[in-house]
Structure 1
Amino acid sequence: MPNTRDVIAGSTVLITGAARGMGELYARRAVAAGAARIALWDVDEATATALAAELSRSGTDARAYRVDVSRSEDVRDGVARTLADFDRVDVLINNAGIVRGSLFWEHDPERDIELTMRINTLAAMWLTRELLPGMIADTSRPKRILNVASAAGTLANPHMSVYAASKWAMIGWSDSVRLELGREGHRHVKVTTFCPSYVSTGMFAGARGPLLTPIMTPRQATRAAWDGMIAGRAMVTKPWTVKLAMALRGVLPTPLWDVIADRVFHVYSSMDHFTGRPGA
């Protein structure tokens, strides 16, 4: 099994949503593991630039790129600028995401529905499609793709219809690409799908963790995702109750599962007091 140094040392890492939160923590892990180059993509150019300057003092060539991943033309331009600077990408972390918590019929069609699907799902597809042919062609070192999905993509939940839809799509696409790479013999490229429950980044402010499902810290979440990515595991679910809920939902009749999810685990009320990050 490869270790962090085998995969990361001397590599070029690209992270979306990299200016703060889990994206920043992935970047710091990459520096600690000896990454040679890091591309920090974010719409917050000032914060990403400050982070790049700090990380570069360690000897890593870290550069910030203002990219709005909700726009396919921005993604293509960002790839062109990144490859002009760094020539290749060895590790891709599709971390950017947003959340909108509301009743479905209260969502704004463009500002909520379309934007969520663009950032949470299409952006990862667009970016991976741009970079994957090069990653496949370069067999000189291991390649990794980490797609940050969510436990919301495994279970339906009130007040999360659009967010859940974006993450269900992410999971299906991500794992399908993993299978395609394996069947076509491109085994040096590994795809990992990360499905955490609530993480205290501020995005889910007001949400309450279901029974036996504590809200994880960003450090706990990024450590689990990072270790799974390095090992090339297909899927990482955290905490353990995510996998339990997936199993129960798969074997129980829907009416019975609805009762258990609502009255026992309190999954269906976990977003009742959601506020989200102010100003997001």
Structure 2
Amino acid sequence: MGRSVRGARVLVTGATRGMGRLFAERAAAEGAAVLVLWGRDTAALDEVAGAVARPGLTVRTDAVDLDDLDALDAAARALLAELGTIDVLVNNAGVITSNAYFWELRPAETTHTLRVNTVAPMRLVGHFLPGMIEDAPRAKRILNVASAAGIVPNPRMSVYAASKAAMLTWSDTLRLEVEQAGHRHVAVTTFSPAYVGTGMFAGTRRILLTPELTPERAVDQAWRALLAGRANVITPPTVHVARAARGVLPPRAWDRLARFFGVHRSMDGFTGRR
């Protein structure tokens, strides 16, 4: 894809705030031809659309609740009917409902988290990937935003962690399937950051040697990886260390180490967005 998305048709989910808005701004600044913004809040979508508007860019907004799979399907079909296909899909939208222990969660919270964080991205790729494959040799990119929570277990976020672990494994397997099938013009990138300061995880406690990422830094890392077609980005580097340590240490030894670094208490003061 080169150094930019110039001339591309780009879809960003969760585009009204946080990283999603920054992804939208990045696509517009780099000369995307069509920018499709998905979110739940119509007024917020209109505000972002106005902020990113510029000559030569067509901005489309769709108010879509990713928990409503029928609505998701309908919106995807309508978009395909209008554009034929897209060039870049940024599966950014995500939710976490609380910092409750698993047995304290309402069943609806569990279902909601899994639908938005895992099932919806899969469903979207199911709609758009066939057209991306057929539109060879034009470069295509899929960015799936997972989380370090899917790599390192952390109390008080069990369902969120499970949804992101599933996202991570599915996304990287999808990458392998696309490559094995010979569709070299399509690249799938999985982005797994630790806490990002978007407000979604407000109130979380600091983890030793693991600074909270700024949204700008996180999006820059993810975007550059998307353009380059890199397979995985895990950030910051301490997450790599934690993954390696968890792989070689006995479970109880890893638990003690994680407690020492503050991982297991990082969600105690969570007040972030639901």
Q: Is the 8 A contact 1:208 1:215 kept in 2?
A: no
Tell me how far apart the structure 1 counterparts of residues 269 and 103 of structure 2 sit (CA, whole Å).
18
- TM-score w.r.t. the length of structure 1 is 0.95
In structure 1, list runs of 5 or more residues that go unmatched.
Answer: none
1:274 to 260, 270, 274: 270
1:9 equivalent in structure 2: 6
Please state if 1:66 is matched with 2:63. Answer: yes
1:77 to 71, 74, 80: 74
Please state if 1:131 is matched with 2:134. Answer: no
Please state if 1:225 is matched with 2:222. Answer: yes
Tell me how far apart the structure 2 counterparts of residues 47 and 86 of structure 1 sit (CA, whole Å).
23
How far the C-alpha of 1:58 sits from its partner, in A, is 4.1
Tell me how far apart the structure 2 counterparts of residues 126 and 85 of structure 1 sit (CA, whole Å).
19
Q: Is the 8 A contact 2:77 2:127 kept in 1?
A: no
Percent of counterpart pairs with the same letter?
A: 51
Could you tell which deviates more after superposition, 47-56 or 17-26?
47-56
Tell me how far apart the structure 2 counterparts of residues 81 and 134 of structure 1 sit (CA, whole Å).
14
Supply the AA of the counterpart residue of 1:105: W
Tell me how far apart the structure 2 counterparts of residues 242 and 3 of structure 1 sit (CA, whole Å).
28
Q: Is the 8 A contact 2:84 2:131 kept in 1?
A: no
How far the C-alpha of 1:87 sits from its partner, in A, is 2.6
How far the C-alpha of 1:4 sits from its partner, in A, is 2.2
1:4 match: secondary structure = coil
Tell me how far apart the structure 1 counterparts of residues 120 and 113 of structure 2 sit (CA, whole Å).
10
Supply the AA of the counterpart residue of 2:143: L
| Matched residues, number | 273
Q: CA RMSD in A?
A: 1.1
1:276 match: secondary structure = coil
2:36 equivalent in structure 1: 39
In structure 2, list runs of 5 or more residues that go unmatched.
Answer: none
Supply the AA of the counterpart residue of 1:4: R
Q: Is the 8 A contact 2:190 2:232 kept in 1?
A: yes
Tell me how far apart the structure 1 counterparts of residues 230 and 249 of structure 2 sit (CA, whole Å).
27
Tell me how far apart the structure 1 counterparts of residues 224 and 231 of structure 2 sit (CA, whole Å).
12
Tell me how far apart the structure 1 counterparts of residues 51 and 78 of structure 2 sit (CA, whole Å).
21
Q: Is the 8 A contact 1:37 1:86 kept in 2?
A: no
Q: Is the 8 A contact 1:13 1:30 kept in 2?
A: yes
Tell me how far apart the structure 2 counterparts of residues 253 and 140 of structure 1 sit (CA, whole Å).
47
Tell me how far apart the structure 2 counterparts of residues 82 and 52 of structure 1 sit (CA, whole Å).
17
